[in-house]
Structure 1
Protein backbone atom coordinates (compact mmCIF):
# COMPACT_ATOMS: atom_id res chain seq x y z
CA UNK A 1 0.00 0.00 0.00
CA UNK A 2 2.77 2.44 0.96
CA UNK A 3 4.72 1.59 -2.19
CA UNK A 4 1.65 2.26 -4.34
CA UNK A 5 1.13 5.61 -2.61
CA UNK A 6 4.76 6.60 -3.17
CA UNK A 7 4.52 5.55 -6.81
CA UNK A 8 1.38 7.64 -7.25
CA UNK A 9 3.11 10.65 -5.71
CA UNK A 10 6.14 10.14 -7.93
CA UNK A 11 3.93 10.06 -11.00
CA UNK A 12 2.11 13.15 -9.82
CA UNK A 13 5.40 14.96 -9.34
CA UNK A 14 6.54 13.89 -12.78
CA UNK A 15 3.41 15.28 -14.45
CA UNK A 16 3.39 18.45 -12.37
CA UNK A 17 3.54 21.83 -14.00
CA UNK A 18 7.03 22.70 -12.79
CA UNK A 19 8.44 26.19 -13.27
CA UNK A 20 8.31 27.52 -16.83
CA UNK A 21 11.00 29.88 -18.04
CA UNK A 22 10.25 33.46 -17.12
CA UNK A 23 7.75 32.64 -14.41
CA UNK A 24 7.64 35.46 -11.86
CA UNK A 25 5.11 33.62 -9.68
CA UNK A 26 5.62 30.13 -8.21
CA UNK A 27 3.00 28.21 -6.23
CA UNK A 28 4.22 25.79 -3.55
CA UNK A 29 2.65 23.86 -0.70
CA UNK A 30 0.35 20.93 -0.16
CA UNK A 31 -2.72 19.33 -1.73
CA UNK A 32 -4.91 22.42 -1.42
CA UNK A 33 -2.67 24.06 -4.00
CA UNK A 34 -2.02 20.93 -6.07
CA UNK A 35 -5.64 19.74 -6.28
CA UNK A 36 -7.27 19.79 -9.74
CA UNK A 37 -3.93 19.88 -11.54
CA UNK A 38 -4.89 16.85 -13.64
CA UNK A 39 -7.78 18.85 -15.12
CA UNK A 40 -5.70 21.99 -15.63
CA UNK A 41 -7.68 23.92 -13.02
CA UNK A 42 -5.37 23.99 -9.99
CA UNK A 43 -4.68 27.24 -8.16
CA UNK A 44 -1.57 27.80 -10.30
CA UNK A 45 -3.49 27.11 -13.51
CA UNK A 46 -6.22 29.52 -12.47
CA UNK A 47 -3.69 32.19 -11.51
CA UNK A 48 -1.95 31.84 -14.84
CA UNK A 49 -5.24 32.39 -16.66
CA UNK A 50 -6.03 35.48 -14.61
CA UNK A 51 -2.56 37.03 -14.75
CA UNK A 52 -1.92 36.25 -18.41
CA UNK A 53 1.63 35.21 -17.52
CA UNK A 54 3.40 31.91 -16.76
CA UNK A 55 3.00 30.60 -13.22
CA UNK A 56 5.17 27.83 -11.77
CA UNK A 57 3.76 25.08 -9.59
CA UNK A 58 5.83 22.83 -7.31
CA UNK A 59 3.09 21.95 -4.81
CA UNK A 60 2.36 18.33 -3.89
CA UNK A 61 -0.23 16.42 -1.84
CA UNK A 62 1.02 15.28 1.59
CA UNK A 63 3.76 17.95 1.65
CA UNK A 64 4.83 19.22 5.07
CA UNK A 65 6.69 22.28 6.28
CA UNK A 66 8.91 20.44 8.76
CA UNK A 67 8.64 16.80 7.68
CA UNK A 68 8.57 15.03 4.34
CA UNK A 69 11.47 14.17 2.10
CA UNK A 70 12.38 15.53 -1.29
CA UNK A 71 9.53 17.56 -2.80
CA UNK A 72 7.21 16.39 -0.02
CA UNK A 73 9.04 18.95 2.12
CA UNK A 74 7.79 22.42 1.20
CA UNK A 75 11.15 24.22 1.71
CA UNK A 76 12.70 21.61 -0.62
CA UNK A 77 10.08 22.42 -3.25
CA UNK A 78 11.47 25.94 -3.39
CA UNK A 79 15.19 25.12 -3.25
CA UNK A 80 17.12 27.20 -5.76
CA UNK A 81 14.11 29.31 -6.74
CA UNK A 82 13.86 33.07 -6.32
CA UNK A 83 10.83 34.31 -8.29
CA UNK A 84 9.32 37.71 -7.72
CA UNK A 85 6.39 36.09 -5.89
CA UNK A 86 6.00 32.83 -3.99
CA UNK A 87 2.44 31.77 -3.22
CA UNK A 88 2.25 28.96 -0.69
CA UNK A 89 0.48 27.27 2.17
CA UNK A 90 1.39 24.52 4.59
CA UNK A 91 1.08 23.12 8.08
CA UNK A 92 -2.00 20.91 7.79
CA UNK A 93 -0.03 17.74 7.19
CA UNK A 94 2.40 18.65 9.97
CA UNK A 95 -0.55 19.01 12.33
CA UNK A 96 -2.06 15.76 11.11
CA UNK A 97 1.16 13.83 11.70
CA UNK A 98 2.29 15.67 14.83
CA UNK A 99 -0.81 15.87 16.99
CA UNK A 100 -4.51 15.26 17.32
CA UNK A 101 -6.89 18.18 17.43
CA UNK A 102 -6.81 18.40 21.22
CA UNK A 103 -3.06 18.59 21.88
CA UNK A 104 -1.35 20.64 19.18
CA UNK A 105 0.56 23.22 21.22
CA UNK A 106 4.00 21.67 20.69
CA UNK A 107 3.47 21.09 16.97
CA UNK A 108 2.19 24.63 16.50
CA UNK A 109 5.22 26.03 18.34
CA UNK A 110 7.50 24.05 16.04
CA UNK A 111 5.72 25.47 13.02
CA UNK A 112 5.45 29.08 14.23
CA UNK A 113 5.77 30.75 17.62
CA UNK A 114 2.99 32.81 19.15
CA UNK A 115 4.68 36.08 18.10
CA UNK A 116 5.32 34.80 14.57
CA UNK A 117 9.10 35.13 14.75
CA UNK A 118 10.35 31.57 15.27
CA UNK A 119 9.67 28.14 13.88
CA UNK A 120 9.78 26.38 10.54
CA UNK A 121 7.32 28.71 8.80
CA UNK A 122 9.06 32.00 9.71
CA UNK A 123 12.41 30.38 8.80
CA UNK A 124 11.08 29.45 5.36
CA UNK A 125 9.55 32.86 4.78
CA UNK A 126 12.70 34.67 5.96
CA UNK A 127 14.77 32.58 3.56
CA UNK A 128 12.49 33.43 0.65
CA UNK A 129 12.57 37.11 1.54
CA UNK A 130 16.37 37.02 1.68
CA UNK A 131 16.32 35.70 -1.90
CA UNK A 132 14.29 38.73 -2.93
CA UNK A 133 10.89 37.04 -3.26
CA UNK A 134 7.67 38.50 -1.96
CA UNK A 135 5.49 35.96 -0.21
CA UNK A 136 1.76 35.32 -0.23
CA UNK A 137 0.80 32.82 2.46
CA UNK A 138 -2.66 31.34 1.97
CA UNK A 139 -4.27 30.44 5.29
CA UNK A 140 -6.56 27.41 5.24
CA UNK A 141 -10.32 27.48 4.78
CA UNK A 142 -12.66 25.49 7.04
CA UNK A 143 -13.75 22.32 5.25
CA UNK A 144 -17.09 20.54 5.75
CA UNK A 145 -15.22 17.54 7.14
CA UNK A 146 -13.88 19.50 10.10
CA UNK A 147 -16.34 22.37 10.55
CA UNK A 148 -17.71 22.52 14.08
CA UNK A 149 -15.13 20.09 15.49
CA UNK A 150 -12.18 20.51 17.85
CA UNK A 151 -9.92 20.65 14.79
CA UNK A 152 -10.93 24.25 14.15
CA UNK A 153 -9.04 25.44 17.26
CA UNK A 154 -5.47 24.70 16.14
CA UNK A 155 -6.12 26.23 12.72
CA UNK A 156 -7.46 29.42 14.26
CA UNK A 157 -4.33 29.62 16.37
CA UNK A 158 -2.18 29.00 13.29
CA UNK A 159 -3.95 31.84 11.49
CA UNK A 160 -3.35 34.25 14.39
CA UNK A 161 0.36 33.40 14.44
CA UNK A 162 0.64 33.75 10.66
CA UNK A 163 -0.96 37.17 10.97
CA UNK A 164 1.66 38.22 13.51
CA UNK A 165 4.40 37.06 11.14
CA UNK A 166 2.96 38.90 8.14
CA UNK A 167 2.49 42.11 10.14
CA UNK A 168 6.25 42.33 10.65
CA UNK A 169 7.17 42.45 6.95
CA UNK A 170 5.43 44.41 4.16
CA UNK A 171 6.80 41.85 1.71
CA UNK A 172 4.63 39.12 3.27
CA UNK A 173 0.88 39.04 2.67
CA UNK A 174 -1.48 36.71 4.51
CA UNK A 175 -4.67 35.86 2.62
CA UNK A 176 -7.46 34.02 4.43
CA UNK A 177 -9.21 31.45 2.26
CA UNK A 178 -12.15 31.53 4.67
CA UNK A 179 -13.00 34.88 3.06
CA UNK A 180 -14.10 33.05 -0.10
CA UNK A 181 -15.08 29.64 1.30
CA UNK A 182 -17.99 28.44 3.40
CA UNK A 183 -18.18 24.86 4.69
CA UNK A 184 -21.91 24.98 3.92
CA UNK A 185 -21.31 25.46 0.19
CA UNK A 186 -20.42 21.97 -1.03
CA UNK A 187 -19.90 23.21 -4.59
CA UNK A 188 -16.55 24.60 -3.40
CA UNK A 189 -15.28 21.19 -2.30
CA UNK A 190 -14.26 17.93 -3.93
CA UNK A 191 -16.14 14.73 -3.13
CA UNK A 192 -13.94 14.16 -0.09
CA UNK A 193 -15.41 17.33 1.46
CA UNK A 194 -11.87 18.47 2.24
CA UNK A 195 -10.04 19.57 -0.91
CA UNK A 196 -11.21 22.32 -3.25
CA UNK A 197 -13.37 21.60 -6.26
CA UNK A 198 -12.47 23.30 -9.53
CA UNK A 199 -14.74 26.14 -8.42
CA UNK A 200 -12.93 26.21 -5.09
CA UNK A 201 -9.51 26.46 -6.75
CA UNK A 202 -10.87 29.32 -8.85
CA UNK A 203 -12.01 31.10 -5.67
CA UNK A 204 -8.51 30.78 -4.21
CA UNK A 205 -6.96 32.20 -7.37
CA UNK A 206 -9.45 35.08 -7.39
CA UNK A 207 -8.45 35.88 -3.80
CA UNK A 208 -4.72 35.86 -4.54
CA UNK A 209 -4.52 37.42 -8.01
CA UNK A 210 -5.17 41.03 -6.89
CA UNK A 211 -2.22 40.82 -4.48
CA UNK A 212 0.06 39.75 -7.31
CA UNK A 213 -1.22 42.48 -9.63
CA UNK A 214 -0.36 45.09 -6.98
CA UNK A 215 3.39 44.61 -7.43
CA UNK A 216 5.10 47.97 -6.76
Structure 2
Protein backbone atom coordinates (compact mmCIF):
# COMPACT_ATOMS: atom_id res chain seq x y z
CA UNK A 1 0.00 0.00 0.00
CA UNK A 2 2.84 2.39 0.88
CA UNK A 3 4.37 1.99 -2.58
CA UNK A 4 1.00 2.61 -4.23
CA UNK A 5 0.72 5.89 -2.35
CA UNK A 6 4.26 6.92 -3.33
CA UNK A 7 3.57 6.00 -6.96
CA UNK A 8 0.37 8.04 -6.92
CA UNK A 9 2.22 11.01 -5.48
CA UNK A 10 4.83 10.69 -8.21
CA UNK A 11 2.18 10.65 -10.90
CA UNK A 12 0.39 13.60 -9.35
CA UNK A 13 3.56 15.63 -9.01
CA UNK A 14 5.02 14.70 -12.39
CA UNK A 15 2.75 17.13 -14.20
CA UNK A 16 4.97 20.02 -15.26
CA UNK A 17 8.23 18.14 -14.75
CA UNK A 18 10.88 18.45 -17.42
CA UNK A 19 13.61 20.65 -18.81
CA UNK A 20 12.85 23.01 -21.71
CA UNK A 21 15.57 23.00 -24.31
CA UNK A 22 16.44 26.65 -23.68
CA UNK A 23 16.33 26.50 -19.86
CA UNK A 24 19.35 28.06 -18.14
CA UNK A 25 17.96 27.10 -14.73
CA UNK A 26 16.93 23.65 -13.48
CA UNK A 27 15.31 22.86 -10.13
CA UNK A 28 15.81 19.40 -8.60
CA UNK A 29 15.22 17.78 -5.24
CA UNK A 30 12.42 16.56 -3.03
CA UNK A 31 8.89 17.56 -2.06
CA UNK A 32 9.87 20.98 -0.71
CA UNK A 33 10.75 21.94 -4.28
CA UNK A 34 7.93 19.98 -5.96
CA UNK A 35 5.06 20.96 -3.64
CA UNK A 36 2.24 23.03 -5.19
CA UNK A 37 3.30 22.13 -8.75
CA UNK A 38 -0.13 20.83 -9.73
CA UNK A 39 -1.56 24.26 -8.86
CA UNK A 40 1.21 26.10 -10.72
CA UNK A 41 2.78 27.31 -7.49
CA UNK A 42 5.99 25.32 -7.03
CA UNK A 43 9.41 26.88 -6.51
CA UNK A 44 10.18 26.45 -10.22
CA UNK A 45 6.85 28.04 -11.13
CA UNK A 46 7.67 31.03 -8.94
CA UNK A 47 11.09 31.43 -10.51
CA UNK A 48 9.63 31.10 -13.99
CA UNK A 49 7.06 33.82 -13.30
CA UNK A 50 9.48 36.14 -11.51
CA UNK A 51 12.32 35.87 -14.00
CA UNK A 52 10.21 35.66 -17.16
CA UNK A 53 12.44 32.83 -18.35
CA UNK A 54 12.08 29.06 -18.84
CA UNK A 55 12.95 27.00 -15.78
CA UNK A 56 13.39 23.24 -15.79
CA UNK A 57 11.94 21.21 -12.93
CA UNK A 58 12.85 17.58 -12.21
CA UNK A 59 12.04 17.52 -8.47
CA UNK A 60 9.75 14.88 -6.95
CA UNK A 61 8.27 14.11 -3.52
CA UNK A 62 9.99 11.32 -1.59
CA UNK A 63 13.26 11.80 -3.51
CA UNK A 64 16.50 10.98 -1.72
CA UNK A 65 20.16 11.74 -2.17
CA UNK A 66 21.14 8.12 -1.45
CA UNK A 67 18.84 5.37 -2.70
CA UNK A 68 15.52 5.92 -4.40
CA UNK A 69 14.65 4.45 -7.79
CA UNK A 70 14.86 6.49 -10.98
CA UNK A 71 13.75 10.10 -10.45
CA UNK A 72 13.22 9.37 -6.75
CA UNK A 73 17.02 9.55 -6.58
CA UNK A 74 18.12 13.18 -6.79
CA UNK A 75 21.42 12.54 -8.62
CA UNK A 76 19.43 10.48 -11.16
CA UNK A 77 17.05 13.41 -11.66
CA UNK A 78 20.02 15.38 -12.95
CA UNK A 79 21.56 12.77 -15.23
CA UNK A 80 22.29 14.40 -18.58
CA UNK A 81 21.31 17.87 -17.34
CA UNK A 82 23.66 20.65 -18.38
CA UNK A 83 22.49 24.09 -17.41
CA UNK A 84 24.01 27.34 -16.22
CA UNK A 85 22.29 27.02 -12.84
CA UNK A 86 21.09 24.05 -10.82
CA UNK A 87 18.96 24.73 -7.75
CA UNK A 88 18.40 21.76 -5.48
CA UNK A 89 17.87 20.43 -2.00
CA UNK A 90 17.80 17.01 -0.39
CA UNK A 91 18.62 14.88 2.60
CA UNK A 92 15.38 15.03 4.58
CA UNK A 93 14.03 11.76 3.22
CA UNK A 94 17.39 10.09 3.79
CA UNK A 95 17.33 11.20 7.42
CA UNK A 96 13.68 10.34 8.06
CA UNK A 97 14.02 6.87 6.54
CA UNK A 98 17.32 5.86 8.10
CA UNK A 99 17.66 7.29 11.59
CA UNK A 100 15.87 8.59 14.62
CA UNK A 101 16.26 12.26 15.44
CA UNK A 102 18.89 11.54 18.08
CA UNK A 103 21.00 9.02 16.17
CA UNK A 104 21.70 10.44 12.72
CA UNK A 105 25.49 10.68 12.76
CA UNK A 106 26.10 7.80 10.36
CA UNK A 107 23.49 9.00 7.86
CA UNK A 108 24.81 12.55 8.00
CA UNK A 109 28.33 11.29 7.36
CA UNK A 110 27.13 9.40 4.28
CA UNK A 111 25.41 12.54 3.02
CA UNK A 112 28.23 14.98 3.78
CA UNK A 113 31.31 14.81 5.97
CA UNK A 114 31.98 17.18 8.85
CA UNK A 115 34.35 19.29 6.74
CA UNK A 116 31.92 19.39 3.81
CA UNK A 117 34.23 17.69 1.32
CA UNK A 118 33.16 14.04 1.26
CA UNK A 119 29.87 12.17 0.90
CA UNK A 120 27.02 11.89 -1.56
CA UNK A 121 26.13 15.60 -1.53
CA UNK A 122 29.64 16.94 -2.27
CA UNK A 123 30.02 14.25 -4.94
CA UNK A 124 26.81 15.38 -6.64
CA UNK A 125 27.78 19.05 -6.43
CA UNK A 126 31.27 18.34 -7.77
CA UNK A 127 29.73 16.46 -10.71
CA UNK A 128 27.44 19.39 -11.50
CA UNK A 129 30.31 21.85 -11.24
CA UNK A 130 32.37 19.69 -13.61
CA UNK A 131 29.54 20.02 -16.13
CA UNK A 132 29.85 23.81 -15.88
CA UNK A 133 26.81 24.47 -13.70
CA UNK A 134 26.68 26.91 -10.84
CA UNK A 135 24.86 25.38 -7.87
CA UNK A 136 22.44 26.85 -5.35
CA UNK A 137 21.75 24.44 -2.51
CA UNK A 138 18.52 25.36 -0.72
CA UNK A 139 18.85 24.41 2.94
CA UNK A 140 15.65 23.40 4.76
CA UNK A 141 13.45 25.66 6.85
CA UNK A 142 12.28 24.62 10.32
CA UNK A 143 8.79 23.16 9.95
CA UNK A 144 6.15 23.66 12.68
CA UNK A 145 5.81 19.88 13.03
CA UNK A 146 9.39 19.62 14.31
CA UNK A 147 10.13 23.06 15.75
CA UNK A 148 11.41 22.87 19.29
CA UNK A 149 12.03 19.12 19.18
CA UNK A 150 15.16 16.97 19.01
CA UNK A 151 14.55 16.59 15.26
CA UNK A 152 15.92 20.08 14.67
CA UNK A 153 19.46 19.08 15.65
CA UNK A 154 20.38 16.83 12.68
CA UNK A 155 19.25 19.54 10.29
CA UNK A 156 21.45 22.10 12.02
CA UNK A 157 24.39 19.73 11.61
CA UNK A 158 23.47 19.29 7.94
CA UNK A 159 23.31 23.07 7.47
CA UNK A 160 26.70 23.60 9.11
CA UNK A 161 28.30 21.02 6.82
CA UNK A 162 26.59 22.41 3.72
CA UNK A 163 27.87 25.86 4.63
CA UNK A 164 31.43 24.54 4.78
CA UNK A 165 30.96 22.89 1.38
CA UNK A 166 29.65 26.10 -0.18
CA UNK A 167 32.45 28.14 1.40
CA UNK A 168 35.08 26.19 -0.52
CA UNK A 169 33.72 26.95 -4.01
CA UNK A 170 32.63 30.34 -5.32
CA UNK A 171 30.34 28.52 -7.77
CA UNK A 172 28.26 27.02 -4.94
CA UNK A 173 25.84 29.10 -2.88
CA UNK A 174 23.87 28.04 0.19
CA UNK A 175 20.40 29.58 0.36
CA UNK A 176 18.98 29.20 3.87
CA UNK A 177 15.18 28.95 3.75
CA UNK A 178 15.06 29.92 7.42
CA UNK A 179 15.97 33.42 6.24
CA UNK A 180 12.43 33.78 4.83
CA UNK A 181 10.44 31.28 6.96
CA UNK A 182 9.17 31.37 10.52
CA UNK A 183 7.95 28.17 12.11
CA UNK A 184 5.15 30.07 13.88
CA UNK A 185 3.77 31.58 10.64
CA UNK A 186 1.40 28.81 9.57
CA UNK A 187 0.44 30.71 6.41
CA UNK A 188 3.78 29.58 4.97
CA UNK A 189 2.96 25.89 5.44
CA UNK A 190 0.55 23.36 4.01
CA UNK A 191 -2.03 21.74 6.29
CA UNK A 192 0.47 19.00 7.20
CA UNK A 193 2.62 21.67 8.91
CA UNK A 194 5.62 20.33 7.03
CA UNK A 195 5.50 21.24 3.33
CA UNK A 196 5.30 24.79 1.99
CA UNK A 197 2.02 26.46 1.14
CA UNK A 198 1.85 28.34 -2.18
CA UNK A 199 2.94 31.42 -0.20
CA UNK A 200 5.84 29.40 1.21
CA UNK A 201 6.94 28.17 -2.21
CA UNK A 202 6.84 31.78 -3.43
CA UNK A 203 9.06 32.77 -0.49
CA UNK A 204 11.62 30.16 -1.52
CA UNK A 205 11.57 31.37 -5.12
CA UNK A 206 11.98 34.94 -3.87
CA UNK A 207 14.99 33.91 -1.79
CA UNK A 208 16.68 32.21 -4.73
CA UNK A 209 15.90 34.63 -7.58
CA UNK A 210 18.36 37.40 -6.53
CA UNK A 211 21.16 34.84 -6.29
CA UNK A 212 20.71 34.06 -9.99
CA UNK A 213 21.47 37.67 -10.88
CA UNK A 214 25.01 37.53 -9.46
Cross-structure match for 1:20:
20
Query: Secondary structure in 1 aligned to 2:157?
Result: helix
Q: Where do 5+ consecutive residues of structure 2 fail to align? A: none
On the 8 A contact 2:13/2:61 being kept in 1, the answer is: no
Query: Secondary structure in 1 aligned to 2:173?
Result: strand
Mapped partners of 1:108, 1:9: distance in 2: 26
The change in CA–CA distance for 1:101 and 1:170 in structure 2 (over 3 A counts) is: same
CA shift, 1:213, in A, is 1.6
What TM-score, normalized to structure 1? 0.97
Size of the aligned set, in residue pairs, is 214
CA shift, 1:171, in A, is 0.2
CA shift, 1:6, in A, is 4.0
* Deviation larger for 74-83 or 2-11: 2-11
Cross-structure match for 1:119:
119
CA shift, 1:7, in A, is 3.2
Mapped partners of 2:80, 2:71: distance in 1: 13
Cross-structure match for 1:128:
128
Mapped partners of 1:13, 1:188: distance in 2: 20
CA shift, 1:10, in A, is 4.2
Query: Secondary structure in 2 aligned to 1:137?
Result: strand
Cross-structure match for 1:145:
145
The change in CA–CA distance for 1:177 and 1:10 in structure 2 (over 3 A counts) is: closer
Mapped partners of 2:5, 2:59: distance in 1: 17
Mapped partners of 1:36, 1:135: distance in 2: 23
On the 8 A contact 2:17/2:59 being kept in 1, the answer is: no
Mapped partners of 1:175, 1:3: distance in 2: 32
On the 8 A contact 2:13/2:38 being kept in 1, the answer is: no
CA shift, 1:16, in A, is 3.2
CA shift, 1:15, in A, is 1.8
What TM-score, normalized to structure 2? 0.98
Mapped partners of 1:129, 1:145: distance in 2: 35
Cross-structure match for 1:186:
186
CA shift, 1:44, in A, is 0.1
Say whether 1:2 aligns with 2:2.
Answer: yes
CA shift, 1:192, in A, is 0.2
Query: Secondary structure in 2 aligned to 1:173?
Result: strand
On the 8 A contact 2:6/2:62 being kept in 1, the answer is: no
Cross-structure match for 2:36:
36
Mapped partners of 1:14, 1:50: distance in 2: 22
CA shift, 1:4, in A, is 2.2
Superimposed CA distance per residue, residues 63-100 of structure 1 (whole angstroms, 9 cap, x where no aligned partner) = 00011010000000000001000000000000001101
Q: Where do 5+ consecutive residues of structure 1 fail to align? A: none
Query: Secondary structure in 2 aligned to 1:178?
Result: helix
